[in-house]
Structure 1
Amino acid sequence: MKGSNLTSVIIPTLNPGNQITVLLDKLISQSLPPVEIIVVDSQSDDGTPALVNQYIASHTGQNIRFIGIERKDFDHGATRDMALRESSGDFVLFLTQDAMPANEHYIENLMRPFSDEKVALVTGRQIARPDARPAERLVREFNYPEQSHIRDASDIERLGIKAFFASDVCAAYRRSAYLAVGGFEHPIDTNEDMLIAAAFLHAGYKIAYEASAEVVHSHNFTLRQQYKRNYLMGKEIQKHAALLGGAKVAGEGMALVKYVIQGLAKGCHLCEIIRFCFDCAARLLGNRAGASAGAKLQNESSSEW
């Protein structure tokens, strides 16, 4: 696909600061530049609207658009769906505001698996930021390995929940496939990427993980933030248990814990092991509480029928 110019890039933003211009610079400098870039901002109060519009004015040769929405109207599924339908590319790339392409070949590499016409979704590799905690760096290594792969429906039984792994931190969609399965579900609090990945597999499409398409991205979450994040994940996974085939998170979670603790032990990070144990507790408690809330919503929905 090298040489084609069929890609749109969509970036949801909320108070990104000056890093949004850094990200825009990296995108327009790609070896396979996008045909358009759409910034969807949720009422940033750090000057982002003015900053992006100034950037647009100073880069008149680039097709960059700014769309502003009310902060209260942001939804992980609906907002991305709206932006995708506003875009024109045959392939639509999503990036978060803090995911920086590692080099100028990010888009070119991310597009490579689409040479298989059955591939509907490609997820890139996330490399930890320089300031990432040792545990977070190991989590990224576990979730985003060096080996690329492609999955289809035949892999669901073997991989379980991992078969639906996808991340809109850095992902690309084939527009025709996206529209064919109805797009992102909404309203939704999180995991819109996992759910549409499941829809793709059930519809006979394939999902790719392209390790050569790298972005620098990670978080040093507090325990409270980790709990909240996993609460929302647990709720959405439970609510959509039928779509996900009842796949369990626990087995994959234990493999992650083992990998991280072994890595921390090799590096003699004793204090980090202790903190990671608390982090795991926050993940587990949040996931269980979220799953309970999701089950309650399922029951309430069933009773309405």
Structure 2
Amino acid sequence: MRVSVICPVYNGAEYLEKLFLKVREQEKLEFIEIIAPISKSKDSSLNEAQKYADLAYEVESFNHAKTRHEAALKAEGDYLVFITQDIMPVDNLWLYNLIKDLDNKTVAAFSKQIAYKEHGEIEKLIRDFNYPDTKRVCNLENSKINGRKNLFYSDASSAILKEEFFKLGGYDFIVPTNEDVVLANNIIKNKKSFMYTPESKVYHSHKLSLKDTYNRYKAIGQFEKKYKKEIDFSNTNGEGKKLVLFVVKKLLKKAKLIDICYFGIDIFVRLVGYRRG
């Protein structure tokens, strides 16, 4: 198995040594290549990436889709693995478990995400809801069974067969965010499948300010408005309600009243940002 790991970087110098060394430790693979496109950063991201990646280079203008696509064009592996700078593999089989079941029908997969302990109970519960322990195959046939989750796909840690990636058009487009949703939709429209693979585990979560949360969900709203004719977002609100109920019930059970209050504010900010977008 020949794998190219693509990790876009921006002000990420603090992460790179630990992350890239952990990628190098992955087992049961004959070839691991690390490619790091670096957006112009205020720290030593480029220098740090050049120490540990096979290819690290500066990009003039970052875009979530196009930058990843241009990196994929440079890849030598048969599998393309996309990660973000702030993940951390849980073990040395993360990468093998991510790609081992891919074939010409099920062409892509993404990992289970576990919240970092320092990011608190709310982040933990959101990850528990979005990334359960049950495997899921997403395709045209399973669209009714999976609902909104049939398009849920995250390239914080994902893999795709390189040949199929380019057949599908890859990430050769410009978007403000959610490039992975566009790819997932293209996979399904082309009568292929992708899977959620909970055996492949990474730590990944955020501690965002309310302003950051607002801007993030405004970008998501703009994205869904732009792609509403191509992608069915009809189940988005229903999935959101399920998430809120899940988190509130868990917080009530643990009597975390302060967290419940903050979560209410957080959800309100998300909703306002989304609608403004």
TM over 0.5: yes
Match of 1:69 among 40, 53, 59: 59
Do residues 101 (structure 1) and 98 (structure 2) align?
no
Give how far 1:219 is off: 0.5
1:124 match: 111
SS in structure 1 of the partner of residue 132 of structure 2: coil
Give how far 1:185 is off: 4.8
SS in structure 2 of the partner of residue 190 of structure 1: coil
Unaligned runs of 5+ in 1: 57-63, 291-305
Do residues 223 (structure 1) and 213 (structure 2) align?
no
Give the residue type in structure 1 aligned to 2:48: L
1:9 match: 5
Match of 1:193 among 171, 180, 192: 180
The answer to whether the Cα contact below 8 Å between 2:88 and 2:202 also exists between their aligned partners in 1 is: yes
Distance (Å, rounded) in 2 between the aligned partners of 1:195 and 1:12: 18
Give the residue type in structure 1 aligned to 2:208: F
Give how far 1:99 is off: 0.4
What percentage of residue pairs aligned between the two structures are identical?
30
Distance (Å, rounded) in 1 between the aligned partners of 2:16 and 2:194: 28
1:237 match: 224
Distance (Å, rounded) in 2 between the aligned partners of 1:247 and 1:160: 9
| Count of aligned pairs between the two proteins | 276
Distance (Å, rounded) in 1 between the aligned partners of 2:234 and 2:142: 12
1:91 match: 79
Q: How does the TM-score come out when normalised to structure 1? A: 0.87
The answer to whether the Cα contact below 8 Å between 1:76 and 1:186 also exists between their aligned partners in 2 is: no
Distance (Å, rounded) in 2 between the aligned partners of 1:162 and 1:24: 30
Q: How does the TM-score come out when normalised to structure 2? A: 0.96
Distance (Å, rounded) in 1 between the aligned partners of 2:80 and 2:141: 26
Give how far 1:217 is off: 0.8
Structure possessing the higher radius of gyration over alpha carbons: 1
Give how far 1:246 is off: 4.5
1:40-86 per-position Cα deviation (integer Å, ceiling 9, x unaligned): 11122211222222346xxxxxxx1112112xx10001000000111
Match of 1:37 among 34, 55, 58: 34
Distance (Å, rounded) in 2 between the aligned partners of 1:49 and 1:77: 20
RMSD, aligned α-carbons: 1.4
2:19 match: 23
Unaligned runs of 5+ in 2: none
